[in-house]
Structure 1
Amino acid sequence: MTRRIPLRIVAMACTCVALPASAKDYGRPGAVFPVIEADLLSVIQQRLTAMKASGEIDRANRQLAERTAAKVRRPAAVSGIVTAKQERRWTFDPTITVGQDLRDGRGRVIVAAGMRVNPLDTVPLRQKLVFLDGDDAAQVAWAMRNTTALDAKLILVNGSPFALMKAAQRRFYFDQQGTLTRRLEIRAVPALVEQQGRALLVRELVVSKAKGDRG
């Protein structure tokens, strides 16, 4: 007689049988190192120390100073300004409309919003403004012949004001970034600006090497 083995015993035996594992070579594991980030400030400090030791910082400072001094001695020329080939004249009204109330130190309204104000009513233009190209000898000579330090301010749109001050022993200004010429709509030089009533008379003039013409 064949003896029957209970099913639960068969099941338990199956669970105890070790199944063959699939073998795969993943290679030899490498060394593992911790991730360390350099301190940014330390890196910067080390770089600055190296630059100072090599003289690189001193060279950079000298170059910056030289570039700055060069721009002061000779500012960038105002773009779009040419030498006048024909005379042109017009009037410029400096009146502005105040956008918001202007108050004094105590908070009192001295100029109300919407009010129209002409600066010439309180600050008249006591000296003529002469705009010229400092690299044009004819324009410089014309300005020196026809104006004095008391009656006019000489404003360059190109050239070196310091070089001219040294040569002419007279103060020269520069229209930085074309602020004034753009506002007055000046497109050519020499140009003469003087007060006429409550407006400014602006003239672009043609000059030559001839002496004596006061424009």
Structure 2
Amino acid sequence: MVSARLALFLALAAMPSPLLARDYGQQGIHFPIIENDLLKQIKSKLHAMEASGEIDRLNQKLKAQTIARVNRPKPVAGLIRADKTITRLFDPTITLQADIFDHDGRKIWARGTGVNPLDTVPLRAALVFLDGDDPAQIEWAFAQKPKTAKLILTNGAPLKLMKARQRRFYFDQGGKLVKHFAIGALPAMVDQQGRMLRIREFALPGRREQNQ
């Protein structure tokens, strides 16, 4: 009998009591949920920009900026004109971080091995780094031998110089090469000496001529 009463009490206790249910009414101001279609908003904005000619103006601006950047890339920061001539050697050897396999799956180099790229791919032409806005550096570069050296600008207008000099110029975008070789002053030259790279920075006579 006691168990039956206990079960009945628990069942009644689990049922929601109408005495505990309350209507708290409306609290604050309510607004209807209205959400505009994002794609429609974007299309509407584009149509308005096209009608006003803003898209064409933006395209022309982007085109002009691109042409300007190609004609004169962003200069490599932190470089100065050399005030003394220095020579040092650079070891290009790298330590492999993983095993290297050939196309047949055979291991050709083990992880931890030191590999010198010059053993398989020699530096066929010297690399000459220049400030293209310094006429003295340009004249110095063209006086160097051999004439096969690759002329790499860190500042200046490569296309303009190619047209004027009838010689290919490269540009060290982002300064990746000068950072790799730790070059801090110009002009500089990198060439191969056996299994090492020789890096030279040259002090030129006279002061840099400023372009007007």
Give the structure-2-normalised TM-score. 0.79
1:117 lines up with 2:110 in the alignment: no
Question: What's the % identity of the aligned pairs?
Answer: 54
Return the letter of the residue paired with 1:176.
Answer: Q
Q: Indicate the residue corresponding to 1:180 in structure 2.
A: 177
Whole-angstrom CA distance in 2 between matches of 1:74 and 1:85: 26
Shift of 1:99: 0.4
Q: What residue ranges of structure 1 are gaps of 5+ in the alignment?
A: 1-29, 210-215
1:205 lines up with 2:202 in the alignment: yes
Q: What residue ranges of structure 2 are gaps of 5+ in the alignment?
A: 1-28, 207-212
Q: Indicate the residue corresponding to 1:164 in structure 2.
A: 161
Give the structure-1-normalised TM-score. 0.78
Return the letter of the residue paired with 2:78.
Answer: G
Q: Contact 1:87 / 1:205 at 8 angstroms: preserved in 2?
A: yes
Whole-angstrom CA distance in 1 between matches of 2:141 and 2:86: 18
Shift of 1:145: 1.9
Q: Contact 1:149 / 1:171 at 8 angstroms: preserved in 2?
A: no
Bigger radius of gyration: 1
**Of 121, 124, 127, which aligns to 1:126?**
124
Return the letter of the residue paired with 2:137.
Answer: Q
1:105 lines up with 2:103 in the alignment: yes
Alignment length, in residue pairs? 178
Whole-angstrom CA distance in 2 between matches of 1:143 and 1:167: 15
Return the letter of the residue paired with 1:160.
Answer: A
Whole-angstrom CA distance in 2 between matches of 1:67 and 1:109: 49
Whole-angstrom CA distance in 2 between matches of 1:134 and 1:208: 17
Secondary structure, counterpart of 1:132 in structure 2: strand
Shift of 1:110: 2.3
Secondary structure, counterpart of 2:143 in structure 1: helix
Whole-angstrom CA distance in 2 between matches of 1:108 and 1:114: 17
Instruction: Map 1:28-107; keep pairs closer than 5 Å.
Output: 34-107=32-105
1:154 lines up with 2:154 in the alignment: no
Q: Indicate the residue corresponding to 1:191 in structure 2.
A: 188
Secondary structure, counterpart of 2:70 in structure 1: helix
Shift of 1:33: 6.7
Q: Indicate the residue corresponding to 1:14 in structure 2.
A: none
Q: Contact 1:195 / 1:201 at 8 angstroms: preserved in 2?
A: yes
Return the letter of the residue paired with 1:82.
Answer: I
Q: Contact 1:149 / 1:170 at 8 angstroms: preserved in 2?
A: no
Whole-angstrom CA distance in 2 between matches of 1:94 and 1:171: 26
Residues 17-73 of structure 1 deviation map (CA, whole Å, 9 limit, x = unaligned)? xxxxxxxxxxxxx9x874321111111100001111111111111111211221121
Secondary structure, counterpart of 1:146 in structure 2: coil
Residues 1-20 of structure 1 deviation map (CA, whole Å, 9 limit, x = unaligned)? xxxxxxxxxxxxxxxxxxxx
Return the letter of the residue paired with 2:132.
Answer: G
